[in-house]
Structure 1
């Protein structure tokens, strides 16, 4: 699912996202350019340096489940495109 970043993702917001992603057993991937990181990785989230208005892609290992993506969207840091 393509989404737009609404807020810069720094340590505190990255921690919120990691905690939210960790509530799910599925692997949630965040793809930005050629980078693809696990949403449960704090260092990964900080390393890809997400800034407002960037477009990224969120995917889940179980393609039938969107609950993990919906949970990340509920944080207010992203919006569907």
Structure 2
């Protein structure tokens, strides 16, 4: 458990990507199991799902940009008229 925690602390976005991708792939397989996809179709769907999870984490990470730090900081006297 400590290994997972230290990995998350060192690489939070990668850990979120792995967790989200795993959950999304499980849901994909569970919901489309009876459709009858061929092996290449399953591979394409799984790869696209993993890439979609990465895009979601990337979009979520926009909140942690330099603008978020500026909004969180209290105004200084230089900022006030």
Question: Relative contact order (alpha carbons < 8 A, sep ≥ 6): 1 or 2 greater?
Answer: 1
Structure of greater Rg:
2
- Which has more helix, going by share of residues? 2
TM above 0.5: no
State the TM-score, normalizing by the size of structure 1: 0.30
- Which has more strand, going by share of residues? 1
State the TM-score, normalizing by the size of structure 2: 0.30
